[in-house]
Amino acid sequence: MKNGTRQGPFLPFRLTEMLEDGSLVPQDLVWHDGMEKWKPLGEAESLRTVLKSPAPVTQESPPGIEDADQSADPPPIPRQRDLPLSQGSALQIARERRRLAWRRFFARQIDFGIAAGIAIGGTVATGLGSAWELLSGFGPVAITFGWMFMEAVLLSTTGSTPGRDMLGIRVFHGETEKPSFLTALKRSALVLAAGLGLGLPYMPLIIAQWMFSFWQFNRLGTTLWDRACGTRVAYRKLTLIHGGAIATFMAALFALTFWMQYYAPLPQNMSPELRKGMEQARKEFFENINQRKQG
C-alpha cells in the first residue's frame, strides 16, 4: 500500500530490488497471507530479511495507514487464474525462479565466451598456437580453470563479472558485503566441479549437472555453491543499457566465429578430411564474394 494505492503482489526478492532503486521505503505498508493487518515494511518481522539493514519507521503515519488499519481482514492477494492463493503463489514463484535460472545460465555463458575470446586473442597474438588448437583437446579445460581464478578476482573486487553486469546480476556475501577472494574462489571451484563437469569435453556429464542445478534452484531458490559459501545473488531490472551490452557481445561473438571459420590458420593436427572440407568451404566463400564484387 503506497500513498493509499495498493500494488502487487510482489515476491520478496522484488521488494529488495524496489528498496535498492528507491521505489519502496521501509515506511510503505505491506501485507501477506497470515498477517492480521497492513504494517510498515520496517515493522513486518516476516519480511525482515528483505531489508539490508532494518530502518526505524518514522512516528508519522504513512499515507493510507488509517484506511488500512480499519480493516481487521485485509483484502486477499489477487489470485492467478482463479487458483487457490497458495497454489497461485507457488506457480508465480516457480516462474520467477525459472526466469532467474536462465538469466544466471546465460550470464555464465557470456563470461565463458569472453574468457575464450581473450584466450584466443592472446594465443594467436603471441604466436603460441592457433585458435583451432586452443579450442580442441584440453584447451577448453585450461580456459575454464583460468576463468575460475579470474572470476574469483572480479567477484571479490566488484561483486560481478562482465556477463553478470550485462544481465543485472551481482553476488554478495551475507547481506551487503562482496565475497572475499577465498570465498569467491571456493564458489567458482564448486561451480566448476558441480555445475560444469570440470570443463571436461564430455557433454552428457555437463548436461546432467546443468539439469540438477536447474532443478535445485527451481525447488530451493538457491544453488549448492551459494549455500556452501554463504553467498547470495541479487537481480536488477533489465534496461535498454543491458540490451545494448548483450547486442554488442553477440556481434563480437559472431565476428570471432566468422574469423575462425574463414580466416584463422588451421591447426597442423587437423584431420585431412576436416582440413579438406574447411579449405573447400573457404574457397567457395571467397569465390562468391569475388563474383558479387565483379557483378
Determine the pLDDT at residue 292.
82
Distance CA 135, CA 7 (A): 51
Query: Residue 89's pLDDT band (boundaries 50, 70, 90)?
Result: low
Determine the pLDDT at residue 65.
46
Helical H segments across 196-271, by residue range:
203-220, 224-229, 240-262
**Residue, of 75 and 21, whose pLDDT is higher:** 21
Distance CA 49, CA 45 (A): 8
Provide the pairing of β-strand 231-235 with 169-173: antiparallel
φ/ψ (deg, to 5) at 294: -70, -35
pTM recorded for the entire structure: 0.61
Domain range summary for the chain, segments of one domain joined by +: 12-78, 92-290
The single-letter DSSP state of residue 30 is E
- In this predicted structure, the answer to whether residue 45 has a pLDDT above a threshold of 60 is yes
Distance CA 77, CA 183 (A): 39
CB atoms near residue 167 (< 10 Å) = 22
Distance CA 197, CA 188 (A): 12
Distance CA 42, CA 56 (A): 6
Please give the distance of CA 54 from its chain centroid, rounded to a whole number.
27
Query: Residue 52's pLDDT band (boundaries 50, 70, 90)?
Result: low
- In this predicted structure, the answer to whether residue 142 has a pLDDT above a threshold of 60 is yes
Query: Alpha-carbon dihedral of residues 240, 243, 247, 250, nearest 10 degrees?
Result: 170
Determine the pLDDT at residue 74.
52
Distance CA 133, CA 119 (A): 12
Q: Which residue shows C-alpha cell 555464465?
A: 108
Count the helix, strand and coil residues of the chain and give each as a percent rounded to the nearest 5: 60, 5, 35
Query: Residue 55's pLDDT band (boundaries 50, 70, 90)?
Result: very low
Lowest mean pLDDT among 15-24, 148-157, 222-231: 15-24
Q: What is the 3-state secondary structure (H, E, C) of 123-163?
A: HHHHCCCCHHHHCCCCHHHHHHHHHHHHHHHHHHHCCCCHH
Lowest mean pLDDT among 195-199, 202-206, 215-219: 195-199
73 CB-near residues (< 8 Å, 6+ apart): none
